[in-house]
């Protein structure tokens, strides 16, 4: 018995279009909202049509992560490694703030896509051609990623948005403290975090610079 004919929209489906739809759903409603059915609804096709292009939800998650990696700045092999690593980390932070659902997934997939591997190869190549040993390359990559993902986890979880919101929250916390309690917390809050112009996000570049400076010193010692 002949199968049900595919709809015109199903006939024009592509893997890239399916992944874009899945990413859009995750951006709007979180990763939990991404199912084969929800993606199919967004594309106005039957869910079974997706399986011609994506084997299952896990394969779709692999492809979504691959798409996010493809948005990162890929360090240019042969260029100044410190500049390239700064640009890579800053671009990745910007990308992941657009796709916060991806922060905990980026290096978790057992079946990494080509864009993921291409990005990793670019990072490794930039460091290796700058004179980093294999071991120091591994240390640098791990440290830069720990800073990137760790900072984003903290930044995305903060219970305030912007300086005004922080000031209101800070005033409430300070007012609730017993007299004389937590002197160093009080000092830090009143003389730094609650001062006009303070932005927690500015700490990202400070930490990145400290890492780059430390790696540069280790590289100099290694190459003599």
Question: What global pTM score does this model have?
Answer: 0.89
- Per-residue pLDDT band for 193 (boundaries 50, 70, 90) equals confident
pLDDT digits (tens, 9 = 90+) for 137-169: 999 999 999 999 999 999 999 887 766 777 788
Q: What was the pLDDT predicted at 76? A: 97
Q: Which fold has domain 69-223?
A: Tetracycline Repressor; domain 2 (1.10.357)
8 A C-beta contact, residue 113 and residue 65: yes
Q: What was the pLDDT predicted at 165? A: 75
Q: What is the mean pLDDT of the chain?
A: 92
CATH number of 8-54: 1.10.10.60
Q: What was the pLDDT predicted at 224? A: 73
pLDDT digits (tens, 9 = 90+) for 34-83: 999 999 999 999 999 999 999 999 999 999 999 999 999 999 999 999 99
8 A C-beta contact, residue 114 and residue 200: no
**Sequence-separated (6 or more) residues with CB below 8 Å from residue 96:** 68, 102, 103, 106, 148, 152
Domain ranges of the chain: 8-54, 69-223
């Amino acid at each position: 018995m002949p199968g049900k004919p595919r709809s015109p929209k199903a006939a024009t489906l592509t893997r890239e279009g399916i992944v874009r739809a899945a990413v859009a759903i995750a951006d709007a409603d979180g990763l939990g909202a991404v199912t084969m059915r929800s993606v199919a609804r967004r594309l106005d096709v039957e869910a079974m049509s997706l399986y011609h292009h994506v084997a299952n939800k896990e394969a779709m998650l692999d492809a979504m992560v691959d798409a996010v990696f493809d948005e990162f700045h890929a360090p240019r092999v042969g260029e100044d490694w410190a500049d390239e690593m700064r640009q890579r980390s800053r671009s990745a932070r910007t990308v992941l703030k657009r796709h916060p659902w991806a922060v905990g997934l980026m290096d978790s997939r057992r079946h990494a896509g080509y864009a993921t591997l291409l990005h990793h190869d670019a990072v490794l190549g930039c460091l290796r051609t700058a004179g980093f040993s294999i071991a120091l390359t591994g240390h640098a990559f791990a440290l830069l990623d720990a800073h990137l993902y760790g900072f984003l986890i903290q930044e995305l979880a903060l219970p305030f948005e912007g300086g005004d919101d922080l000031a209101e929250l800070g005033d409430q916390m300070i007012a609730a403290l017993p007299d004389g309690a937590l002197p160093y917390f009080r000092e830090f809050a009143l003389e730094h975090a609650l001062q006009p112009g303070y932005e927690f996000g500015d700490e990202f570049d400070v930490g990145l610079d400290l890492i780059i400076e430390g790696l540069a010193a280790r590289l100099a010692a290694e190459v003599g």
